[in-house]
Chain A
């Protein structure tokens, strides 16, 4: 019998589960205040839905052995976009939805064996709004949700903001056959690959400068405008960031415009976001998201409604980062000495429950009160209620 879980997955203890629930509740309370309604997308879907039009590498999907090509969801967005365009198609736009659940990814471990990763995600999707106002709402909501998590100054929260369209506009200045390699080199932070591109020195130099360009939005936007001219995309991005800046400042989140940043999953075709905090030793990514209009367009026949923005928090990563204080009440142990008193003990137990007191039963009769109290202490009970024989 296998005593270990499958490679890569974890057993959570009660404290960790309670921590996750606390964080998920904090996030959900914020989503609800902003008018978002909860949905529960399925844990598994058809593979073509999960692959999100090529945005997600099929090798990262955990496939099910079934008659149909099915797999476990690697993220929540594609399933919600599908549901929004089918079952919820009649609802007025914009649709504001939130969801929480486990996501699953597969990777190849050293030696070629499969490794699974399970992650509890909580996030929102704002569907059917193509405007920059939706981008602003999403970022402000992300900040408001992060603000509810109890992040401290030493976590140094930083919101990385990129834009698929801006990066594409910069890459369009290169010969077409070099654009894909240059994009991969920039987003993977690979200056050696950039240096090997068959391009004039001036183009390589500019790409090198682009890889180093990040930081305070106004300065980065100024530099981008030198390269791209005053295009509407930059003006819009500038206005979005100006609208977000006061909330970021109030919450102590540093805004970093990072034109060459792209998230792991290539779902996005507009704004992209990643909220990063400083953990004890390493930076921790606690949320990511962005705009995914093309993904919605795969499911939605009405082009005007083919729009979506969303983000997801990694609940486990937040828990490990902020380590929420869990104060669960120590239960009362109800113990009895005579096996015939089981029913009386259960009556006492239920009386305590009705008074709102957490109480548990010692399973089986116990020889004396001292032994019952010792057992109660060992179980972490606050006190022991002894029913004498």
Chain B
């Protein structure tokens, strides 16, 4: 049976729609009041696991799910061995460096060496500042990272920015983008090599309805 790992939250509705277009109906996941974490498809040929965003590549890397949908930001942060199969186009946002609007910094390279940077995505942040050759002290936070600069704990943050409203309402501005992130269809590399057609068939049917940016 094919198992698909889907992320709770903002990506779920579009993920379910893409699989529905490919013939796998996981609408049960969207029903109000659904508490089930493993839901069979309407056709009974597949099942979906409802997991946290960061856990999607984990289930896929261990082979418990052959396919999954997750944001590119999570793939970059966790660096697990999953095959990136399709850019699904939805869930677009930017991974950005942001500072207090009043700080005067307008480029990441202007930040002082050894300054503090708060982030949920310390892996991405570390790689970015390493590439800039700028030593920084990274502070891992689990959420509401905007409070870092507001309280004075950090000079900057690295976080996902969708519309920019949260930053604006908290007196912050994005000064540099690390990368643009969209939802990706990922797969277990060995399962794909052993596939005799069904998995690739799903990937191809989703590709027909995927709308990656720039196309």
B-binding residues in A (CB < 8 A): 110, 158, 160, 188-193, 212, 214, 256, 258, 261, 276, 281-283, 285
Contact = CB atoms under 8 A, between A and B. Distances in A.
Nearest to A261: B193
Contact of B83 (A110, A189, A281): A189
Interface in B176-206: 184, 187-194, 200
Contacts of B83: 188-191
Contacts of A258: 193
B104 to A, nearest CB: 32
A62 B16 CA distance: 43
B122 to A, nearest CB: 9
Contact of B63 (A191, A193, A256, A281): A281
Contacts, number: 43
Contact of B190 (A190, A281, A285): A285
B200 A283 contact: no
A106 to B, nearest CB: 15
Given A192-B84, A192-B85, A276 B64 contact: no
A276 B194 contact: yes
A174 B146 CA distance: 47
Contacts of A193: 84
A281 B1 CA distance: 9
B94 to A, nearest CB: 18
Contacts of B187: 189
A260 B87 CA distance: 22
A134 B79 CA distance: 38
B86 interface: yes
Interface residues of B, number: 20
A188 B85 contact: no
Interface in B58-81: 62-64, 78, 81
A304 B184 CA distance: 49
Indicate the member of A160, A212, A276, A282 with the most B CB atoms within 10 Å: A282
22 contacts: A158-B194, A160-B193, A188-B81, A188-B83, A188-B189, A189-B187, A189-B192, A191-B83, A191-B84, A191-B85, A191-B86, A192-B84, A192-B85, A192-B184, A214-B193, A261-B193, A281-B64, A282-B62, A282-B63, A283-B63, A283-B190, A285-B190
B171 to A, nearest CB: 31
Contact of A189 (B62, B184, B189): B189
A225 B64 CA distance: 36
A276 B190 contact: yes
Interface of B: 62-64, 78, 81, 83-87, 184, 187-194, 200
Indicate the member of B83, B191, B192 with the most A CB atoms within 10 Å: B83
A282 to B, nearest CB: 3
Contacts of B78: 110
A110 B86 CA distance: 25
Given A188-B189, A190-B83, A191-B84, A283 B194 contact: yes
B140 to A, nearest CB: 9
Contacts of B63: 281-283
A258 B194 CA distance: 10
Nearest to A193: B84
Contacts of B193: 160, 189, 214, 256, 258, 261
Given A160-B193, A258-B193, A283-B190, A192 B62 contact: no
A192 B86 contact: yes
Nearest to A190: B84
A340 B149 CA distance: 79
A90 B141 CA distance: 62
Contacts of B200: 212
A158 B192 CA distance: 13
A361 B79 CA distance: 54
Nearest 4 A-B pairs (CB), nearest first? A282-B63, A189-B83, A189-B189, A192-B84
